[in-house]
């Protein structure tokens, strides 16, 4: 027995059907102001966006038909805009249907319909979060979501130097870019060599900086050590100096002809200089050493904070039980430190995975290697930059961005599923 039948009227159904044209259902429900507003909004929506929807939806399907007249990339942009507008429109439409149905339902039950004044109060109370979120949300849609959608679509086109508007049209090629990266020798070799260096780089550099940071924090935290304040300040310094400055300074120091490392330090010990900038393996070593220098202070500061918050009672209790220093360290200090900074560790790994600055500013991703279109120290993100900015391989760069994002998101979701703050969140 459905509920509606128990009422003599069926306003809810009628209102719902009338609401196929937004506003009519509300008018039927005798909410004249609201109904008029909905009608006007609908008319305005079509009036303002008709051209955009028309061109955009046609454009995103065809990407243009006549060279010089149709600009494929503009059309793609209009297409995405049209899709975003359409999503908002559909949202409004569904809201309209739901509203008409609900108000009709309360008429069926002979409940009083809210007056204009009540509706206004309701709108303010329920709409307030939407209202104050909308500026940030809109900005986010246009500068973050929009570019992501654009890259997503670009990955399925053939946009590059040879297919670049206005002289040429861009076409949908679907999965060709993905297939190319794994099938064409040059792309496949470059991709796997860049990917493996990215992983090695992420793992080794991050592990070094984390290990050094924790180690130093623990030895500086010893009770009988003097001058803790000065030591801690100096240890924080590499973090305090902006990284791009330090990296450029290091690039000077590692310079093969005048840099301090070859000339002053190694020269002092009578060792002949190393080719830091021209041999991939040496550039890689230099990068890892530099990242350790740049990254350990953050871990050092975090660990110091954790160490200071560990209760002394734990150690006293352990002493009473006859634990040795090493046992105390292994069973109290280390587990507590690792537990507290674990979430930060994973962000450190993802940070280095995308650490464009150090790779690019140090040696531009170089030195060059024969047989591949990425430099010897290029990680995925700097390779994407190179493809975009120097060789205009836009669609391949977009494809690689998709692959990179999949990796980052997978890791990040796995991490957040595990963190407490996410599990405790009451998600309604």
User: Which residues touch 144 (CB under 8 Å, ≥6 apart)?
Assistant: none
Which CB atom, from 169 or from 302, has the smaller least distance to other proteins?
A: 302
**Residues 104-116 as b or e (16 or more Cβ within 10 Å = b):** bbebbeeeeeeee
Least Cβ distance, residue 274 to other proteins (angstroms): 17
Least Cβ distance, residue 394 to other proteins (angstroms): 5
Please check whether residue 352 is in contact with residue 201, taking contact to mean a CB–CB distance below 8 angstroms: yes
Least Cβ distance, residue 360 to other proteins (angstroms): 7
From the list 379, 369, 373, 375, the residue with the least C-alpha distance to 403 is 379
Which CB atom, from 110 or from 226, has the smaller least distance to other proteins?
A: 226
Least Cβ distance, residue 398 to other proteins (angstroms): 6
Which CB atom, from 6 or from 257, has the smaller least distance to other proteins?
A: 257
User: Which residues touch 378 (CB under 8 Å, ≥6 apart)?
Assistant: 194, 197, 359, 365, 386
Helices 176-183 and 185-220, packing angle to 10 deg:
80
Least Cβ distance, residue 156 to other proteins (angstroms): 14
What span, in angstroms and rounded, lies between the C-alpha atoms of 108 and 111?
Answer: 8
Which CB atom, from 38 or from 360, has the smaller least distance to other proteins?
A: 360
- The sign of the dihedral angle between the CA atoms of 264, 265, 269, 270 is negative
Which CB atom, from 28 or from 235, has the smaller least distance to other proteins?
A: 235
Which CB atom, from 27 or from 210, has the smaller least distance to other proteins?
A: 210
Least Cβ distance, residue 199 to other proteins (angstroms): 17
- For the chain, how far is it from start to end, CA to CA, in angstroms? 31
- Which tokens in the block code for residue 405? 């994002």
Least Cβ distance, residue 280 to other proteins (angstroms): 19
Which CB atom, from 275 or from 305, has the smaller least distance to other proteins?
A: 305
What is the CB-side half-sphere exposure of residue 243 using CA atoms within 13 A? 20
User: Which residues touch 39 (CB under 8 Å, ≥6 apart)?
Assistant: 21, 22, 23, 24, 27
Which CB atom, from 47 or from 268, has the smaller least distance to other proteins?
A: 268
Least Cβ distance, residue 12 to other proteins (angstroms): 20
Structure-token match 């405790």, residue found: 424
Helix (H, G, I), strand (E, B) or coil at 155: coil
């Amino acid at each position: 027995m459905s509920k509606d039948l128990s009422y003599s009227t069926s306003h809810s159904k009628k209102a719902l059907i009338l609401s196929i044209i937004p506003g009519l259902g509300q008018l039927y429900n005798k909410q004249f102001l609201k109904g008029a507003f909905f009608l006007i909004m609908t008319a305005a929506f079509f009036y303002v966006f008709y051209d955009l929807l028309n061109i955009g939806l046609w454009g995103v399907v065809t990407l243009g038909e006549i060279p010089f007249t149709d600009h494929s990339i503009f059309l793609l942009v209009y297409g995405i805009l049209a899709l975003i507008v359409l999503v908002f429109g559909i949202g409004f439409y569904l809201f309209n249907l739901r509203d008409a149905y609900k108000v009709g339902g309360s008429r069926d039950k002979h409940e009083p319909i809210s007056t204009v004044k009540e509706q206004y109060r309701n709108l303010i109370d329920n709409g307030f979060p939407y209202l104050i979120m909308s500026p940030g949300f809109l900005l986010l849609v246009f500068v973050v979501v929009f570019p992501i959608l654009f890259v997503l679509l670009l990955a399925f086109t053939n946009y590059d130097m040879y297919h670049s508007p206005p002289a040429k049209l861009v076409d949908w090629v679907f999965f060709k870019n993905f297939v190319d990266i794994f099938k064409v020798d040059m792309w496949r070799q470059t991709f796997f060599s860049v990917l493996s260096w990215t992983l090695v780089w992420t793992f080794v550099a991050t592990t070094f900086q984390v290990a050094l940071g924790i180690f130093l924090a623990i030895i500086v935290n010893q009770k009988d050590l003097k001058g803790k304040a000065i030591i801690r300040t100096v240890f924080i310094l590499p973090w305090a100096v902006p990284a791009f400055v330090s990296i450029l300074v290091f690039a000077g120091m590692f310079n093969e002809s005048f840099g301090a490392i070859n000339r002053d330090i190694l020269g002092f010990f009578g060792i002949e200089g190393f080719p830091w900038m021209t041999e991939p393996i040496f550039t890689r070593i230099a990068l890892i050493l530099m990242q350790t220098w740049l990254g350990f202070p953050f871990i050092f500061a975090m660990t110091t904070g954790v160490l200071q918050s560990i209760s002394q009672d734990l150690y006293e209790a352990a002493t009473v039980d006859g634990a040795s220093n090493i046992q105390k360290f292994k069973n109290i200090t280390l587990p507590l430190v690792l537990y507290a900074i674990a979430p930060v560790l994973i962000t450190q790994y993802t940070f280095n995975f995308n650490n464009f600055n150090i790779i690019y500013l140090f040696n531009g991703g170089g030195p060059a290697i024969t047989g591949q279109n990425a430099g010897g120290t290029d990680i995925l993100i700097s390779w994407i930059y190179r493809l975009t900015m120097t060789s205009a391989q836009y669609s391949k760069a977009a494809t690689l961005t998709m692959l990179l994002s999949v990796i980052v998101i997978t890791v990040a979701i796995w991490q957040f599923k595990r963190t407490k703050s996410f599990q405790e969140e009451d998600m309604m």
